[in-house]
Structure 1
Amino acid sequence: MRFAALALAALLFSLPALPAPADDDEPPVGLVPRYLLRDANGRAVTEGDFRGRFQLVAFGYTYCPDVCPTTLVEVADVLKRLGDDAARLQAIFVSVDPERDATGTLKDYTAFFDPRIIGLTASPELVKAAADRFKVRYGKVREPGAPADQYSVDHSAGLYLLGPDGGFLHKFAYQTPPADVATRIRDYMAVVKGLRRP
């Protein structure tokens, strides 16, 4: 199964600490965490649907050979470390490859890592709008002469933490240890009042 191979690759890649891209070391300037995407049922989803809960957002695609499975293995670890507090957080994986990542494909992909992670995508225009607001860069990379559907997608890595009001709180660089991510999220949870459970 392709997902199993990706998970194994993610574990192998997570052993040596790979350097994060330079743009992941500092919070993006002017980030406006807004999106209008679709879930596995084709339902329109915005950041407002999760008001009252934190959101941990990653961008990637299901054909990604290393960065994305590594990220989702780590997100699943964060959810496990949060224990009951994970109910106060929605983990989201946004596909920047809507041409190949149908919503059903995304559902199977994210569920392989943890069923609490939801996959979202939409038309190329709406995906680009969301990525632009999160200051995420991405683009197709195709070898000369390759078929139109055989390409990789070069994209920004990292995790974006949004607060219960939908506002941006923190960007975690690629491969920030899950223990550190969970600790930071708990710190935010401790100071934010009125959290609702789903």
Structure 2
Amino acid sequence: MRALFAALIVVLGVAGAWLGYEIYRQQESTSEEPYGVAFNLIDHNGQPITEDAFRGHPTAIFFGFTHCPEICPTTLYEMNGWFEALGDEGKNIKAYFITIDPERDTPEFLRDYITGVTDRVVGITGEPDAVRAMARGFNIYFKRIDTEDGDYTMDHTASVILLDSHGRFRKTIAYGEDTESAISKLRDLAGT
């Protein structure tokens, strides 16, 4: 019985190691491809913008909405602080705020919202179906939540996604992550 139990442990260990290797190999192969999907939207100045905006330089992207009560304004404020702390080290990183509420977030409204906090972030909006397809293509969770007063809010992924200069996924900065950790991740990203 002990021999059977030991053999079972060995088989499970080998299977676990193989599964771990396959997951690692798959992640490595997909990490060489640009992250997300092709899109054709507009920036907060009303100019067309595509996935090409995420190439040729490191990129930080955040999906949110202007009527957000806490997470989005906090993240914008923190991003501004991170870039200020990085100074010239982070000057090549481009940052984008992609709305998940395009019905309310017109280019003008998005521009006023963002530039009231920072000049380092460009807003992205567009036709609702195109915005939603882009968010889904970047594996962003979002859901409209109706409120009792007849209005609505949005539940959504609250991480900043970091892409290298080829548009490949590198890391995320979680909402509420320690400032030094976030700055360190951006410093590493700046060299990619």
TM category, shorter: 0.7 to 0.9
Q: Contact between 2:162 and 2:170, CA under 8 Å: does it hold in 1?
A: yes
- Does 2:115 match 1:111? yes
- Does 2:152 match 1:151? yes
Match of 2:61 among 45, 57, 60: 57
2:143 aligned residue: 139
1:94 aligned residue: 98
SS of the aligned residue for 1:113 comes to coil
How many residue pairs end up in the alignment?
A: 160
Match of 1:32 among 25, 32, 35: 35
Match of 1:80 among 61, 68, 84: 84
Equivalent runs, 1:114-129 vs 2, <5 Å: 114-129=118-133
Which protein has the bigger helix share? 2
Q: Which is worse superposed, 33-42 or 133-142?
A: 33-42
Structure 1 residue 78 displacement after superposition: 1.1
SS of the aligned residue for 1:125 comes to helix
Which 5+ residue runs of structure 2 have no aligned equivalent? 1-26
The alignment's TM-score, normalised by the length of structure 2, stands at 0.77
Moved over 3 A (4+): 29-32
Match of 1:71 among 69, 72, 75: 75
The alignment's TM-score, normalised by the length of structure 1, stands at 0.75
Q: Contact between 1:59 and 1:157, CA under 8 Å: does it hold in 2?
A: yes
Equivalent runs, 1:12-27 vs 2, <5 Å: none
Q: Contact between 2:90 and 2:190, CA under 8 Å: does it hold in 1?
A: no
Q: Write the distance in 1 (CA, Å) between the matches of 2:53 and 2:188.
A: 23
Q: Write the distance in 2 (CA, Å) between the matches of 1:164 and 1:66.
A: 30
Indicate the RMSD between aligned Cα atoms, in angstroms. 1.9
Decide which structure has the larger Cα Rg and report it: 2
1:180 aligned residue: 181
